[in-house]
Amino acid sequence: MALTIKKVAELSGVSVRTLHFYDEMGVLKPAYHGANGYRYYEEAQLLALQQILFYRELGFELKQIRWILEANDFDRVAALQSHRVHLRKSASRIRKLIRTIDATIDHLKGTKEMKSQEMFDGFDPERQAKHEEYLINRYGEEMKQGIQESKRKVKDWRKDDWERSGKTFAAICQDMTDLIQRQKREDSREAQLVVRRHFEWMKQFWIPTRDSYAGHAALIEDSELSQAYAVHHPKLAKFMAAAVRVFAEEQLS
């Protein structure tokens, strides 16, 4: 049974706009267009969309995904088995990150002392390096200098500096979560006031520009950085990223 693009969006959680974009990019064409001009999708397209989402989770770009799916020797079962291996590794790392979060909460509450090195258990240095490389390639020397400045600023931070910064971030996330629960829009005045606080909080590490702050929104939504937001609410990373883009567009020059 063919499904409309709206129904596919509801089932998959991928927006109609993104499905249109996938069509334009040639990575996911509908099965056919109806007489009314609507796009219709069948099982083959749903399975292809599933693959796209798996590869996106693993950090592949759309051009790479299109190349993989269009390859003559593409084996869907083999691909799924490969995804399973990667996700098992990811699940193990996420469990470590959850334990780190729990330990940090206990530490901040004063119920259990935490060693400095334990604060970073589960984080992947290679991924951090890739994040930095992405930012530098995207925004050039300005971002490279910003990253170096950020590392310089926190090099001598003490326990109370990290605790104060962590509490500020947690308050921002909690206030934005409240807005999600109140069904506020990302571009609402309330959300933009919270993003203003997020922007000011970011400035203790580096000074974001219009482009680099908008670029940071992509990391909030699509990198392991999203986990810091998901702890507060499963939709927070996506909501925050959208709100940051609005702020960058309207408030920064």
Q: How far apart are CA 202 and CA 208, in angstroms?
A: 8
* pTM, full prediction: 0.50
My answer on whether 95 and 136 are in the same domain is no
In Å, how far are 5, 132, 151, 250 from 10, measured between CA atoms?
9, 34, 42, 30
- Residue 20 covered by a domain: yes
Q: 245 and 143, same structural domain?
A: yes
Q: Are residues 40 and 117 in the same domain?
A: no
- Count the domains in the chain: 3
Residues 138 and 182 in one domain: yes
Whether 134 and 192 map to the same domain: the answer is: yes
Q: Is 133 in the same domain as 210?
A: yes
Assigned token pair, 71: 């390859």
pLDDT tops 90 at residue 164? no
Q: Which residue has the higher pLDDT, 32 or 142?
A: 32
Give the H or E element holding residue 1.
none
Residue 39's domain comprises: 3-74
Query: 145 and 98 in one domain?
Result: no
pLDDT digits (tens, 9 = 90+) for 118-150: 555 555 555 556 666 666 666 566 666 666 767
- 145 plus 158 within the same structural domain: yes
| 79, part of any domain | no
Is residue 180 predicted with pLDDT exceeding 60? yes
Q: Is residue 80 a part of any domain in this protein?
A: no
What are the φ/ψ torsions at residue 32 (nearest 5 degrees)?
Answer: -170, 170
* The two structure tokens encoding residue 31: 């099965």
